[in-house]
Amino acid sequence: MSPAALKDAALTALVALALFAPLVGLRTDVAPAGGLYLRQRWDDVAILVALAFAARLALLAWRGQRRLPTASTAPGWWEAPLRRLGALAAPLLLAVAVLLPLGAFSWDLGAFAIPAVTGRYELDLGILVLTYVMLGWGLNIVVGLAGLLDLGYVAFYAVGAYSYALLATHFGWSFWLCLPLAGILAAFWGVLLGFPVLRLRGDYLAIVTLAFGEIIRILLVNWVSLTGGPNGIGGIPRPTFFGLTFSLSGGPGTFAGFFGIEPDPSHRVVFLYYLILGLALLTNWVSIRLRRQPLGRAWEALREDEIACRALGINITVTKLTAFAIGAMFGGFAGAFFATRQAFVSPESFTFIESAIILAIVVLGGMGSQIGVAVAALVMIGGFELFRDLQEWRMLVFGAAMVAIMVLRPRGLVASRTPTVTLTGRKRAISGELVGEGHG
Amino acid sequence: MAEARADAAAPPAGRDLILEVRELTMRFGGLLAVDQVSFAADRGRITALIGPNGAGKTTVFNCITGFYRPTAGAILLRDAAGGVAELQGRPGHRIARAGVARTFQNTRLFPGMTALENLLVAQHVPLMAATGFGIGAVLGLSRYPRAERAAIEKARAWLDATGLLDRADDPAGALPYGAQRRLEIARAMCTEPILLCLDEPAAGLNPRESEELSALLLAIRDGQAAGRGRGCSILLIEHDMGVVMRISDRVVVLDHGRKIADGTPEQVRADPKVIAAYLGEGDEGEEDAA
């Protein structure tokens, strides 16, 4: 233990003492008599200061032992096993996602009687997670593939939700007709946003997209005659199963009545679950396919080097706009689903924090990685629920987890890029250090 | 300058020009980077643009390839059928589609994509048309698979021609410097250009690599590389005089934004104005006498 390290640790302890003495050491409490009194907790302060001292020493010792980091473009030793695990994880996650609602019912299979294991809560949580998986995959097209930093993605989610809400309540159109319309309208707004920001890069692009998200929200709040303002739009029709409603009456026009089963409120939840699962998988399928197409390759090339793209005859304007439009379209689909699930939309659901969460999912998952984004959505949205018991400490845990991931895996969970095509047929991962992050 | 103007107005009989630059001027604010430069490049030949640092070579290049919009002047591209396209003021990607491909002084590859992917991005325009502009390909309903196989075959041929076949699936950013330079030329050639513009292709190469580069450029000129069959005119900027004198059919010399010489390598090498530009100005009297 060098004296320098001891001195450094002592300094840390001093700072900790200065901080914790007023924060922890002195606490006002209500006395039994009713008045306030100052409770002194110096033993707690001593423990915290000692912890800070020890932690600083440990950190210095660890740093001292560590060799200088060697720059390398080769993937780390953990990449290969992780990749194999990842190849296994994708089908596993999909199987769990598909089978989850079946657990909501009890099955009587002759000899076996399987009780219901998942309840309404798990299914609702599953729907929420899948919505964010879908939004993450949609934003991944814009941010992960095309490298355009979009901080206002929630605007397209809002456009989709309000499109469905307005079309369904004013014209009584069915969900299946409104769903593509909501997507098209969101894509249209994506292009509208895309045009003015074509020349912007990096921070400037982020600021304008951020402003765009806020403009849409403020518009929704203030255009009271159309959107109902802060009161939102209620009474949005629920989706139907090929025209069959999920009414509990069990009549001939209902799902339960048609199939001759006992009406159960969980039918609708299960239907909604499979609906969002299908939409999310559609998003995934389209992005995976597009990535192997010239358009997807042009997006990735744009992220790597815009000037080189121009020299190769790629129309940058069109390529950027398609990325904005297709990403926005999936946001619109998710929005329409959100509206039909909640049966109520209001501007409160489309605040900046939503954009930030979706972007965090994409960045944590590893930009451009489909499975990474899905896992990140599960961890972030599921983790939020898991730590609900921690109450106000929840945000602290969340923040600490973010910091930990950014320190340990600065390029996200899946940092490497898989080539879209090979000559040898063996796809070797490309280290994230070589892959561009986009300039805006 | 009189000679240059006569050249532009009526090209001498027997010269089949692919590119004509007429009185090109590029001004950045108060700085006159290129001052009324006129020259022409012959079809199926290698034309070199040389000059000391800051002579305006890269600026001329950027005007030809659409990265700068020239202040004045005309740039004409003639295809084999005799059609003439005016390049000045067109956006960069339209010039690339007209048949002008370029490389950059500092290589600009897509470092996170494999060598093969780099060459496929270069074939974006025909591939995109084959996909039915994206929609057909997503649904799997088009002639895209065949077009992609053809594109991969073309990429394989160019990887072979540039000696990169065994590195095809390696990320471009992980290739050694010389290989990156060759890959950039292969990528430019995958756009099926009629004029290939190279900005200092030999910079940073060792003598052996420069030798290989010269052979590659001659093969591209004669259409022997990658089984293309069709020759390609080349315009190059180069500081390596060994490469320039060995492979160029014509050399244009710029100095301080003006053209000071234009001719065969032998003529240019003997030109006192060129020697003065490279070795420093001589006395006024000396130059007049020359």
**Domain extent listing, chain A:** 3-57, 82-408
Show the tokens assigned to B178: 């010389």
Q: Give residue B257's region: left, alpha or beta (phi > 0; psi -120 to 50).
A: left
Query: Is B169–A311 a contact, with Cβ atoms under 8 angstroms apart?
Result: no
Chain B contact present for A318, CB below 8 A = no
Buried b / exposed e across A287-317, counting CB within 10 Å, b at 16+? Answer: bebbbebbbbbbbbbbbbbbebbbbbbbbbe
DSSP A38: E
pLDDT at B6: 39
ipTM of model? 0.86
pLDDT given at position A116: 66
Task: Report which DSSP code applies to A121.
Answer: H
Q: Residue B202 and residue B27: Cα distance in Å, rounded?
A: 28
Q: Which residue has the tokens 């060995």?
A: B246
List the single residue in B with minimal CA-CA distance to A316. B93
Distance separating alpha carbons of residues A338 and A349, to the nearest angstrom: 10
Cα dihedral B126, B129, B131, B135 sign: positive
Q: What is the pLDDT of residues B152-203, one digit of tens each?
A: 999 999 999 999 999 999 999 999 999 999 999 999 999 999 999 999 999 8
CATH of A82-408, one of 1.10.287, 1.10.3470, 1.10.3210, 1.20.120: 1.10.3470
CB distance A422–B169 less than 8 Å?
yes
* End-to-end Cα spacing for chain A: 47
pLDDT digits (tens, 9 = 90+) for B209-233: 999 999 999 999 998 887 777 889 9
What string of pLDDT tens digits covers the 440 residues of chain A?
678 888 988 999 999 999 988 888 888 888 887 788 888 888 889 999 999 999 998 888 887 766 555 544 455 566 667 667 767 878 888 888 888 877 767 666 666 666 666 777 888 899 999 999 999 999 999 999 998 989 999 999 999 999 999 999 999 888 888 999 999 999 999 999 888 887 887 788 889 999 999 999 999 999 999 888 889 998 888 887 777 777 777 677 777 777 777 777 778 888 899 999 999 999 999 999 888 889 999 999 999 999 999 999 999 999 999 999 999 999 999 999 999 999 899 999 999 989 988 998 998 888 778 888 998 899 888 887 877 777 777 777 777 877 887 787 777 877 788 888 888 777 777 877 788 777 65
Rounded to an integer, the average pLDDT of B259-269 is 90
Can you say how many angstroms the Cα of residue B181 is from the centroid of all Cα atoms in its chain?
13
Q: Which residues of B touch A419 (CB under 8 A)?
A: 113-114, 116-117, 169
> What distance in Å separates the CA atoms of residue B78 and residue B250, rounded to the nearest whole number?
18
Tens of pLDDT, residues B5-55: 434 444 555 688 899 999 999 999 888 999 999 999 999 999 999 988 888
Tokens of A69: 């980091």
pLDDT number for residue A121 = 83
A153 touches A135 (CB < 8 A): yes
Q: How far is A422 from chain B (nearest CA, A)?
A: 6
Taking the CA of residue A51 as centre, how many other CA atoms within 13 Å lie in the half-sphere pointing to its CB? 8
The answer to whether A288 faces chain B, any CB pair under 8 Å, is no
Q: What is the pLDDT of residue A439?
A: 61
CB of A377 within 8 A of CB of A358? no
Classify the C-alpha dihedral A199-A205-A207-A211 as positive or negative: positive
Q: Could you please report the per-residue DSSP string of A267-333?
A: HHHHHHHHHHHHHHHHHHHHHHHHHTSHHHHHHHHHHH-HHHHHHTT--HHHHHHHHHHHHHHHHHH
Tokens 């679950």 belong to: A273
Tell me whether strands B72-78 and B17-28 are parallel, antiparallel or unpaired: antiparallel
Picking from A299, A298, A432, the residue whose alpha carbon sits closest to that of residue A372 is A432
**Angle, nearest 10°, between helix axes A120-140 and A266-291?**
20
pLDDT band of residue B286 (cuts 50, 70, 90) is: very low
Half-sphere exposure of B194 (CA within 13 A, CB side): 19
Pairing of strands A36-40, A26-30: antiparallel
CA torsion through residues A21, A25, A29, A33, sign: negative
* Contact at CB, B110 and A308, closer than 8 angstroms: yes
Q: How many Å apart are CA A361 and CA A352, to the nearest integer?
A: 14
Nearest CA in chain B to A420: B117
Higher pLDDT, A415 or B240: B240
Q: Report residue A43 as tokens.
A: 């033993």
Given an 8 Å threshold on Cβ–Cβ distance, is A314 in contact with B187? no
Q: What is the DSSP string of chain B?
A: -HHHHHHHHSPPTT--EEEEEEEEEEEETTEEEEEEEEEEEETTSEEEEE-STTSSHHHHHHHHTTSS--SEEEEEEE-TTS-EEE-TT--HHHHHHHTEEE--SS----TTSBHHHHHHHHTHHHHHHHTTTTHHHHHT-SSHHHHHHHHHHHHHHHHHHTT-GGGTTSBGGGS-HHHHHHHHHHHHHTT--SEEEEESTTTT--HHHHHHHHHHHHHHHHT-GGG--S--EEEEE-S-HHHHHHH-SEEEEEETTEEEEEE-HHHHHH-HHHHHHHH----HHHHHH-
pLDDT at B288: 45
A294-304 helix and A266-291 helix, angle to the nearest 10 degrees: 70
What is the structure's pLDDT at A417?
A: 83
Gap between the Cα atoms of B28 and B14, Å rounded: 37
d(CA B233, CA B100): 10
Q: What average pLDDT is seen over chain B?
A: 85
Neighbour count for residue B125 (Cβ, 10 Å): 19
Instruction: Specify which residues B50 forms β-bridges with.
Output: B253
- DSSP lists the bridge partners of residue A136 as none
- Judged by CB atoms within 8 Å, which residues 106-165 of B form the interface with A? 108-114, 116-117, 120-125, 127-128, 131, 134, 137-138, 144, 148, 152, 156, 159, 165
Do B155 and B96 touch, CB atoms closer than 8 A? no
- Mean pLDDT (whole number) for B259-288: 77
Q: Is the dihedral of CA B195, B200, B202, B204 positive or negative?
A: negative
CB distance A141 to A326 below 8 Å: yes
Per-residue pLDDT tens for B108-127?
999 999 999 999 999 998 88
Strand pairing category for B233-237 and B46-50: parallel
| Residue A417 DSSP SS3 | strand
- Could you tell me which of B175, B176, B219, B177 has the C-alpha nearest to residue B200? B177
Contact B114 A422 (CB under 8 A): yes
CA dist., res. A124 & res. A272, Å (int): 9
Report B:159-218 residues touching A (Cβ under 8 A). 159, 165, 168-169, 171, 173-174, 187-188, 191
What is the distance between the alpha carbons of residues A28 and A243, in angstroms, rounded to a whole number?
Answer: 62
Which residue do the tokens 């005016």 mark?
Answer: B86
* Residues A151, A354: Cα–Cα separation, whole Å: 10
Tell me, what's the pLDDT at B239?
A: 87
3-state secondary structure of A57: helix
Q: Residue B8: how many CB atoms within 10 A of its CB?
A: 18
Give the domains, in start order, of chain B with CATH numbers: 1-89+232-290 (3.40.50.300), 108-174 (no CATH)
Burial of A189 (0-12, 13-18, 19+ CB in 10 A): buried
Contact list in A for residue B65 (CB cut-off 8 A) is: 311
Residue A254: its pLDDT value, please?
A: 77
Could B168 and A426 be called an inter-chain contact, meaning their C-beta atoms sit closer than 8 Å? no
Whether chain B has a CB inside 8 Å of the CB on A408: the answer is: no
Q: For residues A349 and A161, is the Cβ–Cβ distance under 8 A?
A: yes
Establish if B89 touches chain A: CB-CB under 8 angstroms.
Answer: no
Q: What is the pLDDT of residue A130?
A: 94
| B140 has pLDDT over 80 | no
Among A414, A421, A427, the residue to mutate for chain B (most B Cβ within 10 A):
A421
